[in-house]
Amino acid sequence: MRAVGEKEFDGCFEIGVSIGIATFPDRVQSVEKLLDVADAAMYVAKRGGRSTWSFGVLSEQHPSNVVRLKR
């Protein structure tokens, strides 16, 4: 018997991911900036839709591209 509000999923879950990528030293010049740039890239990917990823760049570089992953 299930409690109120519990759902039975039978082990199957649909998930989507948004990934922000920062690489050192080609896109980020300091280790301290890695998480900041990757985090910003993740939000660019989130704005691009479900299951996307984005390479992060510093503000003086060209904006990163958002690429949709195929399921």
Give the model confidence (pLDDT) of 1-40 as tens digits: 566 666 776 777 777 888 898 888 777 778 888 888 899 9
∠ CA 49-26-32, nearest 5°, is 80
Which residues span the domain enclosing 26?
18-68
Number of domains comprising the chain:
1
For residues 58 and 26, give the distance between their C-alpha atoms in angstroms, rounded to a whole number.
11
25 cis-preceded (ω within 30 degrees of 0): yes
Whether 50 is covered by a domain: the verdict is yes
pLDDT category at 58 given cuts 50, 70, 90 is: low
Whether 9 is covered by a domain: the verdict is no
